[in-house]
């Protein structure tokens, strides 16, 4: 399956684009960016120099992904999400020591969210629309608000985990009511729910 690049997209010749990836109108992909196989880069999205995007990632319209961001496989980024990369922004900055941000496998970030740099969004975590992420979100974490706070946990299928099956000193075991999958959450993460 070949790469599809809309005629109005601006894709650097030094960017690496995986098989089956589609880059839509007015998107910009900068030098040395790496985009995996079977990704979608939505209209007017911006992928900065050095960004790394895994396989099967869906980036909706008007998303800004700046240098220092890594999106692992199967990540969903909703419309108008912004990733920052500078904790101390100034117009006359001489530093290019950008803070790194990692979004792990299967995570979803809903529309209009701002991800402040230097944070990790865990595997299969879900961030609610309009949130401002200022701290790490654990695997399977459900976080939302400004600032985003951990409010619970979600299954890999995306549904909120509400049925506790078992709890001990190390883990809380949930069973998803939607798909019956069991998800083990470390007690240390469970105690972070606000």
Q: Would 114 be classed as within a structural domain?
A: yes
Q: Output the pLDDT for position 137.
A: 99
Alpha helices (H) along the chain: 187-190
pLDDT of 1 > 80? The answer is: no
Higher pLDDT, residue 1 or 19: 19
Q: What confidence score (pLDDT) does residue 184 get? A: 97
168 within a domain of the structure (yes/no): no
Instruction: Answer yes or no: is 71 within a domain.
Output: yes
Q: How many domains does the chain have?
A: 1
Q: Please write the tens of the pLDDT for every residue from 19-44.
A: 999 999 999 999 999 999 999 999 99
Q: Flag whether pLDDT at 148 surpasses 80.
A: yes
93 against 148, higher pLDDT: 148
Give pLDDT tens digits for 57-103: 999 999 999 999 999 999 999 999 999 999 888 888 777 778 999 99
* Residue 190 within a domain: no
Quote the pLDDT of residue 67.
Answer: 96
The DSSP letter of residue 66 is -
Handedness of CA 192, 99, 156, 44 (dihedral sign): positive
Tens digit of each residue's pLDDT (9 = 90 or more) over 91-118: 887 777 789 999 999 999 999 999 999 9
pLDDT recorded at residue 156: 98
Mean pLDDT to the nearest integer, 143-167: 98
Whether 175 is covered by a domain: the verdict is: no
Non-local (6+) Cβ contacts of 4 within 8 A are 21, 22, 23
Q: Do the Cβ atoms of 123 and 102 come closer than 8 Å?
A: no
Full residue range of the structural domain in which residue 27 is found: 4-89+98-160
- Domain containing residue 140: CATH number: 2.160.10.10
Asked if residue 72 belongs to a domain, the reply is: yes
Asked, for residue 176, whether it belongs to a domain, the answer is: no
Q: Which residues contact 108 (CB under 8 A, 6 or more apart)?
A: 75, 76, 78, 125, 126, 127, 158
Q: Nearest 5°: phi and psi at 103?
A: -110, 115
The answer to whether residue 68 is domain-embedded is yes
Q: Which residue from 68, 129, 146 is spatially nearest to 103, judged by alpha carbons?
A: 68
CA–CA separation, 151 and 60 (whole Å):
25
Q: What pTM, to 2 d.p., does this model score?
A: 0.96
pLDDT (0 to 100) of residue 100 = 96
């Amino acid at each position: 399956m070949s790469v599809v690049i809309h005629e109005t997209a601006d894709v650097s010749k030094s960017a690496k684009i995986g098989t089956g990836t589609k880059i839509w109108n007015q998107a910009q992909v900068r030098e040395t960016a790496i985009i995996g196989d079977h990704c979608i880069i939505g209209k007017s999205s911006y992928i900065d120099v050095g960004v790394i995007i895994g396989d099967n990632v869906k980036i909706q319209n008007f998303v800004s992904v700046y240098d220092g961001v890594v999106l692992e496989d199967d990540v969903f980024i909703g419309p108008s999400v912004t990733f920052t990369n500078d904790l101390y922004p100034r117009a006359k900055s001489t530093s290019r020591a950008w803070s790194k941000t990692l979004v792990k496998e299967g995570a979803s970030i809903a529309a209009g969210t701002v991800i402040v740099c230097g944070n990790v969004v865990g595997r299969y975590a879900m961030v609610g629309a309009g949130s401002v992420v200022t701290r790490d979100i654990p695997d399977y974490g459900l976080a939302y608000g400004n600032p985003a706070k951990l409010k619970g946990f979600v299954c890999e299928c995306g549904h909120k985990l509400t049925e506790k099956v078992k709890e001990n000193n190390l883990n809380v075991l949930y069973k998803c009511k939607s798909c019956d999958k069991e998800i083990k959450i470390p007690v240390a993460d469970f105690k972070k729910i606000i």
